[in-house]
């Protein structure tokens, strides 16, 4: 990951930013990274619990697709 991307992940991405990241998933590794970003965004209070669960569910399905 680039330094900018690491800083964004620590601060948390917005819902829209996470949706953009979901769209980039193309492997198990990228799915894992996005799931971590979803967790970070929730912890940084950028997204609600409901948004967290919805996005995590989508990322998990993509993870299974590439597994």
The four Cα atoms 39, 44, 41, 43 give a dihedral, to 10 degrees, of 20
pTM of the predicted model, to two decimals? 0.84
pLDDT at 62 over 80: yes
Per-residue confidence band for 3, with pLDDT thresholds at 50, 70 and 90 = very low
Per-residue confidence band for 12, with pLDDT thresholds at 50, 70 and 90 = confident
Per-residue confidence band for 1, with pLDDT thresholds at 50, 70 and 90 = very low
Q: Is the separation of the CB atoms in 22 and 58 below 8 Å?
A: yes
pLDDT at 2 over 70: no
């Amino acid at each position: 990951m680039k330094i900018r991307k690491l800083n964004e992940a620590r601060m948390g991405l917005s819902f829209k930013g996470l949706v953009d990241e979901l769209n980039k998933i193309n492997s198990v590794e990228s799915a894992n990274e996005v799931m971590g970003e979803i967790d970070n965004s929730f912890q940084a209070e950028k997204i609600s619990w409901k948004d967290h669960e919805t996005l995590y569910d989508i990322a998990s399905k993509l993870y299974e697709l590439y597994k």
